Chain A
Amino acid sequence: MNGAQDLGGQMGFGPIELEDKEPNFHAKWEERAFAITLAMGGTGSWNIDTSRHARETLPPPIYLTSSYYEIWTWGLEKLCLDKELITEGELKTGHMEEPAKPVKQVLTADKVAAALAKGGPADRPEQQPARFKVGDRIRTKRMHPEGHTRLPRYARDTVGVIEAVHGVHVFPDTNAHGRGEQPTWLYGVLFKGTDIWGPDSDPRLSLRIDLWEPYLDLA
């Protein structure tokens, strides 16, 4: 979706703010927001694409003026409500009023290290041959889906070259919306900076973007 999260190439945000010491967390609540988000992810009630979509559907004025862990918190509230794990009333009072809904699993302290070390690989077995090979010239689709997508706006309807074939990966555009993983080939695509930003831009800039087969056509 063309939400506030799709930041590549936008202008006017000013200089990058570098902070001293760069702590992971700037307050206790950031630690807790981080941990409850990871732990709720561990219940298996949604996937990483659903959670990204929950954050990017925040209204742009809120997304752009919230800190990172605020965005995570708003996203987590939304996911818990959507999956009916909690109610609006419970969220207001901060206490349980309805019985808990069963979840697939609960992440306990003894399982944290193993769960993190395992992660959540996104690659899947090949079901069909890859449509493109290294060196193929492709054009990204001109598309503006209202749902989740990982083809950034700045790289749409643009010619590039397949530089890597990464294998078959879960397709975020369906997985975010409960329409299944629909695994498809994922490619590393090389774009000339000037093909994206125009002839006056840096001639020595090139971009590499990982893109799924449904985003691409032969050029």
Chain B
Amino acid sequence: MAHDHDHDHDRDHSELSEIELRVRALETLLTEKGYVDPPALDELIETYETKIGPKNGAQVVARAWSDPAYLERLRADATAAIAEFGFTGRQGEHMVVVENTPNTHNMVVCTLCSCYPWTVLGLPPVWYKSAPYRSRAVRDPRGVLLEFGVSLPEDKEIHVWDSTAEIRYLVIPERPSGTDGWSEEQLAELVTRDSMIGTGLALQPSELEAAQ
């Protein structure tokens, strides 16, 4: 990470104290008023910490790679096809899949806020919500990809999807070669979160071995 540690720690420390107090005061007040139910707050946190995350999306991609009939259903109505796994609801109400091909790379951003397909990817990482990504993804996606360690061939088309409405986009990365006959469970291991945002590619089988 290219930043000044001392400076950031100082800043975080002073901001943390004030924000901690503000959030605590607000939560206490809203609870006393009866607007929020503390066990519901715990349940909300627990859900996104343990139940909803990019493993959901990886299952969808692995099936799209394995099952041509499922891929057709995804293309026709991604919301319904993804619901076959039970992945429905908040920030995934209107899903669309976009497929990478040998000629085309897709990348998703929300320049105006932080729209992200929660049902299949969970909560967005900090960089996705940050000014550097939101400002540059639409203008210089190749440069952004280089920072993620991805160098695309010059002649590859790049499609950038700016999530301005309630449509949520899931990238189907290209299936790596050398995976013929793999089960959906094995294939899902190759599907990284970034490959479903479009800031990465699916892992090669050799990369998976190295990671394990």
Number of B residues whose C-beta is below 8 Å from A? 82
Interface residues of A in 19-68 (CB under 8 A from B): 19, 22, 24-25, 27-29, 31-36, 38-40, 43, 48, 52, 55-56, 64, 67-68
Label chain A's interface by main secondary structure.
mixed
Asked whether A7 and B131 contact (CB < 8 A) given A119-B93, A204-B158, the answer is yes
Decide if A116 touches B47 in the complex (CB within 8 Å).
Answer: yes
A196 to chain B, nearest CB (A): 8
Within 8 Å by CB of B23, from A32, A43, A150, A196, lies A32
Q: Which residues of B contact A152 (CB under 8 A)?
A: 111-112, 162, 164
Asked whether A119 and B37 contact (CB < 8 A) given A17-B1, A86-B29, the answer is no
B148 to chain A, nearest CB (A): 8
A81 to chain B, nearest CB (A): 11
A208 to chain B, nearest CB (A): 5
Instruction: State the CA gap A19–B125 with chains docked (Å).
Output: 9
Most chain A Cβ neighbours within 10 Å, of B92, B109, B135, B157: B135
Instruction: State the CA gap A150–B113 with chains docked (Å).
Output: 10
Within 8 Å by CB of A5, from B29, B34, B112, B148, lies B112
Interface residues of B in 37-65 (CB under 8 A from A): 37, 39-45, 47-49, 52
Q: Which residues of B contact A25 (CB under 8 A)?
A: 45, 49
Decide if A109 touches B39 in the complex (CB within 8 Å).
Answer: yes
Asked whether A107 and B92 contact (CB < 8 A) given A112-B47, A122-B165, A207-B162, the answer is no
> Which stretch (B13-21, B67-75, B172-180, B204-212) binds chain A?
B13-21
Q: Which residues of A contact B150 (CB under 8 A)?
A: none
Decide if B49 touches A24 in the complex (CB within 8 Å).
Answer: yes
Q: Which residues of B contact A201 (CB under 8 A)?
A: 139
Instruction: State the CA gap A100–B48 with chains docked (Å).
Output: 29
Instruction: State the CA gap A122–B164 with chains docked (Å).
Output: 13
Question: Does A195 belong to the interface (CB within 8 Å)?
Answer: no
Instruction: State the CA gap A120–B89 with chains docked (Å).
Output: 7
B19 to chain A, nearest CB (A): 6
Within 8 Å by CB of A208, from B144, B155, B156, B162, lies B162
Question: Does A118 belong to the interface (CB within 8 Å)?
Answer: yes
Decide if A35 touches B44 in the complex (CB within 8 Å).
Answer: yes
Besides A8-B112, A19-B1, A94-B26, 18 other CB < 8 A contacts?
Answer: A8-B135, A9-B138, A16-B132, A55-B113, A68-B130, A77-B26, A96-B33, A120-B90, A122-B94, A122-B166, A150-B112, A151-B164, A154-B139, A186-B165, A205-B141, A207-B159, A207-B161, A209-B164
A-to-B contact residues, CB < 8 Å: 5-11, 13-19, 22, 24-25, 27-29, 31-36, 38-40, 43, 48, 52, 55-56, 64, 67-70, 73, 76-77, 80, 85-86, 90-96, 100-101, 103, 106-109, 111-113, 115-123, 150-152, 154-155, 164, 166, 169-170, 172, 186, 188, 196-197, 201-202, 204-212
27 A–B contacts, CB within 8 A, in A order? A5-B113, A6-B111, A7-B134, A16-B133, A18-B1, A27-B20, A29-B20, A36-B26, A39-B35, A43-B35, A69-B19, A70-B19, A73-B22, A80-B30, A85-B35, A91-B26, A95-B29, A108-B40, A109-B43, A117-B88, A122-B93, A122-B165, A151-B164, A152-B162, A202-B141, A205-B157, A207-B162
